[in-house]
Amino acid sequence: MAHSRFIKDTGLTARMTLVMFLLGLLFVALIVILMGAAAQSGYGGLVPIIGIAGLGIAWFQWYNSDTMALKAMRARIVTPDEAPELHGMIDRLCALADMPKPRVAIAYTDLPNAFATGRSPERAAVCVTTGILDRLTAEEVEAVLAHELSHVAHRDVLVMTMAASAGIIAGMLMHGARFGAFFGGRRNNNGGAPFWLIALVVSLVVYAISFFLTRLLSRYRELSADRAGAYLTQKPSALASALTKLTGDIAAIPNKDLRASQSMNAFFITPAISGANLKTLSSTHPSLEQRIEQLAKVSAELGRPMDGGFPSPGIGQ
Amino acid sequence: MSFWDSLMGRRKPVKANLDALFALPSAAITLQTAAGFAPTGNGSVCYRQAEGAAFAQTQTDVVELLNADEGPDVEKSVDQYGFTWLVTRQDPTDMAALVTDLHAVNTTLEAQGFGPGLLCSLVGFTDPSGRRLGLVYLYKQGTFYPFAPVDAQRRDNVLEVQIRDLIKNDLPVESQLNRWMPVWGAPGL
């Protein structure tokens, strides 16, 4: 009896599964290759220690994600008395989504931005900047909050930390292998390449692959949060207009120094793949066009008449 | 939400639970006999208006359906949070008719796929000294809680807890107090 307007995006799910599978494969490959190389050159005991230390760092990042992110943005937790409208909005959205209410923080900066952080939905915090509150209407702020609440519900901090753990370990190994290079390492007897060289090359490659894969995964998760947020507020166009405003604002302010950009043009890399360049491959958020296109799909789905409610001529018995 | 759904970044909208509404008439009798609170005959449904033609059509259908009887017409208003309230009025002694109205709004919205947009329903009560009380139904929880506003931003928590203890045998009452959200200035209260 109950109909749902929520359609699964199988394409997005499939791509996300593939990326997560590849990240898992990368992690396993890193460990296996290092174990093999280490066993050959007599450093067998070292690899598990590095692996465990890397996972420990990933765990620490995940566990303290809320305090670290809020501190980095200089955000302050606000009470319902200090920001009644913001709290009222989040109260209602959480009741609508049936999720625990996160802590609410405001960062006093003119940069328009919003983010969600925290190791679990119970310990999450949602932060908006004063810049975003000044620029957006109440409806658009709500759309942005729904997007951030979707990140909380999807446990994005946990998933992204897990996804990045191979990269974190590879990064540690690069540092470790550099020391190995400086100190010359122990001479191995069987004439193969020294362990530190293998470790350096392998971790470099793993780090590079992991960098692009996690960025790709991050873009997919942004699209997921857009979708879920739009279904929550039932107003995809409010999110679309908020994104247009924010991206337009940020895009209009140049980041590069006038003098620096002149000389940088010489180093500009033109990739072989058309439509993709280094910037789109390494960005954490999908392009505005991609996001608006997806929101338009959700909007069409919400406006579609359903069977039963509207008599369609010619089909009745 | 399941582990797999969070891994895949999917969040299915939570469906509304409509059935507990029919327990309201018996709770109304309890409130009248034990606390002196009589129904005002006003009830309201609060929901999120979706964009697009399908929702506008559904909403028009609901309003027409409720206006078809001889009673007063339905009032529609939008609050400052962007939620729509439909207020329906019935004879204060006929709680069953009020509940039927509320249920009709819910089932119509749900049949058209807008069930996830339902936020709460509210039934108003008042006592001889003029105190107001609303029983709020949370769709996503399927539970009720009392809401007793004193003035614009203050609520009578003592009264609310008393009411909770009175009606807990008639209705599923929300056990987590942090879900007892105020609905300041709710139409129909």
Q: Which of B3, B4, B6, B11 to mutate to test the interface with A (most CBs of A within 10 A)?
A: B11
C-alpha distance from B63 to closest chain A C-alpha (Å)? 15
Task: Express as a percent the part of chain B with pLDDT over 70.
Answer: 98
Query: CB A16 to CB B114 under 8 A?
Result: no
pLDDT, residue B51, reads 87
Asked if the model's pLDDT at residue B132 lies above 50, the reply is yes
Contacts of A224 in chain B (CB under 8 A): 8-10
Residue A169 one-letter amino acid:
I
Contacts of B178 in chain A (CB under 8 A): 101
CA angle in degrees (0–180, nearest 5) for A74-A80-A84? 100
Averaged pLDDT, B137-146: 89
- Distance, in Å, from the CA atom of A48 to the CA atom of A28, rounded to the nearest integer, reads 12
C-alpha distance from A35 to closest chain B C-alpha (Å)? 29
Nearest residue of chain B to residue A4 (CA atoms): B113
pLDDT, residue A190, reads 53
Averaged pLDDT, B178-183: 85
Averaged pLDDT, B78-82: 87
Tens-level pLDDT at each residue, chain A (317 residues):
345 676 667 788 888 888 888 988 888 888 888 888 777 776 667 777 877 888 888 888 888 888 888 888 889 999 988 998 899 899 999 988 888 899 999 999 888 888 898 888 888 999 999 988 988 889 999 999 999 999 998 888 888 888 888 888 888 878 777 766 555 555 545 555 677 788 888 888 988 898 888 888 888 888 989 998 998 888 899 999 888 888 765 545 555 455 544 444 444 443 333 445 566 677 778 888 888 888 888 888 888 776 544 444 433 33
**ipTM for the whole complex:** 0.76
pLDDT digits (tens, 9 = 90+) for B46-73: 998 888 888 998 899 888 888 887 777 8
What sign results for the dihedral spanned by CA atoms A279, A284, A286, A288?
A: negative
Query: CB B6 to CB A237 under 8 A?
Result: no
Q: pLDDT category, B146, cuts 50, 70, 90?
A: very high
Asked if B163 contacts B114 with a C-beta cutoff of 8 angstroms, the reply is: no
pLDDT, residue B43, reads 92
3-class SS shares of chain B: helix, strand, coil, % to 5? 40, 25, 35
B13 touches chain A (CB under 8 A): yes
Tokens read off for A48: 């598990």
Q: Which residues contact B19 (CB under 8 A, 6 or more apart)?
A: B142
Instruction: Give which of B90, B107, B188 is closest to B147, Cα–Cα.
Output: B188
Asked if the model's pLDDT at residue B176 lies above 80, the reply is yes
Asked if B48 contacts B117 with a C-beta cutoff of 8 angstroms, the reply is: yes
